Chain A
Amino acid sequence: MIQHFRPALVLLLLFTALTGLAYPFAIAGVASVAFPSQAGGSLMVHDGTVIGSALIGQNFASEVYFQPRPSATNTPDPADSSKTIDAPYNAANSSGSNLGPTSKALVDRVKAAAEAKLAAGWKAPLPADAFTTSASGLDPEISPQNALAQVPLVAEARGLDEAKLRALVAARTHGRWLGLIGEPRVNVLALNIALDALE
């Protein structure tokens, strides 16, 4: 056993230096030159301020904006650090709801949200992504159906023409990659920036 000690120790140190330091630093070096924006997190900057990342969803509470999917992320409770409180789109602590298909908490949550939307004028069938939390809690996108369902409320809150908003949603809808891969979707942050620019 002891004759294995030297090769084990030396190779562990060499591979730590190679794969643990040289490799990630080299990738970071090349990335910062070749793909600086992506390497830095695809940040969106307006007038010198970072307003978010193109890839990370953010919370919109006001009805003058299109709403992202519900988010299950949380944050430690400032009053009692052993507990957590809801903090949607907390990009420092990604998380899904992890509620199973027969969870009463899941069904009650969807029921309350669905009843509220139906009362506000949405028609069944309701877009499923508007009532289900994403896996990361940071999903930046919604389905085109979801965006279109929100048009009347946003139009009313902003006093804008519905047709104009529908055209905006259509222009901001990304199809499948190569027409084949993934799903059609709308980035909520980009849509809302375009919405602000409309006025």
Chain B
Amino acid sequence: MTLNGWLQISLVLGLVLVAIRPLGLYMAAVFDGHRTFASVVLGPVERGFYRLAGVSPDKEQNWLAYTLAMLMFSALGFASLYAILRLQAFLPLNPQGFDGVPPDLAFNTTISFLTNTNWQAYGGETTMSHFSQMAGLAVHNFLSAATGIALALAVTRAFSRASAATIGNFWVDLTRSTLYVLLPLAVVVALLFVASGVPQTLDGSVDATTLEGAKQSIALGPLASQEAIKQLGTNGGGFFNANAAHPFENPNAFSNILQIWSMLTVSAALLVMFGKMVGSERQGWALCGAVGAILLGGVAIIYASETAGNPLLTALGLDPAQGNLEGKEIRFGQALTALYVAVTTGLSCGAVNAMHDSLTPLGGMIPLILMQLGEVLPGGVGSGLYGMVVFAILSVFIAGLMVGRTPEFLGKKIEAREIKLAVLAVLILPLAILGFSAVAAVLPSALSSLANNGPHGLSEILYAYTSSAGNNGSAFAGLSANTPWWNTTTAIAMTLGRFGYVVPVMAMAGSIAAKKKGAASAGTFPTDGGLFVGLLVGVILIVGGLQFFPALALGPIVEHVLMLAGKTF
């Protein structure tokens, strides 16, 4: 670790910090239906969309109607994306002449983009036509993120309203998220990406004759537009197989900073928006504080572990001063690679600028843990906010148990029904991750996909289900995931991680919205101070993390010890 490295990390996080308050307040204004500077241009478009869709923007929905609208939208999104992928050979903009995507891979990829996971069992440049990328995958980059924001808004309104029967209108929240937040940001970020060197062309590839006279076919495409929303929407599905490590997706230090900024800013700004909408900006910052504390801890461990290097390679004469460079690109440096790894897994982004499979054992364990904590640091666009609210509710519940008072959060009494639903939601992750991992670890057809032996092989299995159930999408990519077993089971894990989590959370939101809002008294546990932040961090680490410790001990921790002992597999 160097001072320069920490300066780089601080600079990027500083750029995020200055952006989240203005963006958070802007989003609060947009979603409360106030006019903003963007209304002049976007207002007519918005109203036109409602007219064509037959939506009355003033008619609100209760939690069940809101959830059913979301499920119907997802079901149609599934049908259309699956059809596009299967039929891409007959659709336009296919300069490379790719065949249709096979059924199990198309199923997996469709679920993956629908759930904002963007797990990639395919290599983009060898599988997907430009039409599939633009009108298929990138559309769901927008819509799955907008759906996440909509769900987060429903949960926010459960606390901002008192004795309310409705929690908003899904179609309005979806439309506003896309038109007023994601699309304008994407246009600006996409143009900055092009300026920094990210291609944006409809050509499929160009043939070069190298200095030595060999042929090199260089894959191209409309990357910049996709790269922008992939980061802003915390999707993470790369245009190319190597994702944001590919020099076209992420050509230099500037684009690397823009990538990290884009994926972190919207999710963090949603926490500020939450505070503003529930009437206490301090509450939003308290949640940001808990996120920042855990995330920075993760960055420090990855950075320290990667710069310490791989002792097995140092023993062969390699310079330890450069750290572990297998699977990393020169232009990013160890510091901003470590930050990228932590941010992409603390969020449910899953874009990668280094191959996580080749990280040191402890450097690779942190992304696993950050995902297993429930992707709340600050989590995916929207999904992070409602995940964080679930943890906040569990925290006040535990605090309530300690002093024997009915727990309250933001003036709402938290009772048995809400706790049951919250626990139901948080049990989805261990069920999907540990359940599938246990089966895969003994199934020969699953094990034949592993690229690494020994404890690292177990880490590959664990990472695959952690990433898919957590709707992250990054991978220990040595695993050959494009097989019927992996395509099917990771798709089930992704579905459980998104919809199995959201439905109980929405039921909880409906029940909280209906409650009276009590005034704070001397006996109320304040949820915007340091004590609450500390408790929240503890609950996230213990409830979210401890259940995975035995699995981590058998994977990365054992591997670390064996690496120090000089053992290879």
Contacts and interface: CB of A to CB of B under 8 A. Distances in A.
Interface of A: 1, 4-12, 14-16, 18-21, 23-24, 26-28, 30-32, 34-35, 38-43, 49-53, 55-62, 65, 69, 89-104, 106-107, 110-111, 114, 118, 124-129, 131-143, 145, 176-177, 180-183, 185, 189, 192-193, 196
Contact of B210 (A5, A30, A51, A98): A51
Contacts of B197: 38, 42, 55
Contact of B568 (A5, A31, A40, A103): A103
B299 to A, nearest CB: 16
Interface string B222-260: 101110010000000000111001111001111011000
Nearest to B222: A24
Contact of A100 (B123, B328, B452): B452
Contacts of A180: 4, 7-8, 11
Contact of A128 (B190, B220, B319): B319
B358 A99 contact: yes
11 contacts: A7-B53, A23-B138, A27-B200, A38-B195, A42-B197, A92-B217, A100-B559, A135-B329, A176-B253, A181-B11, A182-B333
A8 B72 contact: yes
Contacts of B455: 102
A7 B108 CA distance: 26
A183 B332 contact: yes
A142 B325 CA distance: 11
Contacts of A96: 242, 245, 327, 355, 357-358, 477
Given A6-B54, A132-B325, A101 B139 contact: no
B439 interface: no
A125 B478 contact: no
Contacts, number: 388
Contacts of A55: 197, 247-248, 251
B125 interface: yes
A149 to B, nearest CB: 10
B199 A38 contact: yes
Nearest to A29: B200
B354 A135 contact: yes
A151 B381 CA distance: 49
Contacts of B214: 58-59
Given A23-B186, A128-B325, A129-B325, A104 B569 contact: yes
B175 to A, nearest CB: 7
Given A4-B69, A135-B353, A138-B242, A52 B208 contact: yes
Interface in B326-373: 326-333, 336, 352-355, 357-361, 364
A99 B452 contact: yes
A35 to B, nearest CB: 5
A125 B318 contact: yes
The 4 closest A-B pairs by CB, nearest first: A182-B253, A98-B478, A135-B245, A20-B135
Given A92-B126, A92-B217, A177-B252, A98 B200 contact: no
B174 interface: yes
A101 B322 contact: no
B567 A102 contact: yes
A136 B211 contact: no
A196 B352 CA distance: 36
A99 B211 contact: no
Given A59-B212, A134-B245, 10 more contacts: A14-B49, A15-B143, A20-B139, A23-B183, A42-B197, A100-B357, A102-B454, A125-B321, A127-B319, A134-B330
A19 B332 contact: no
B476 interface: yes
Interface stretch (B308-316, B415-423, B507-515, B543-551): B308-316
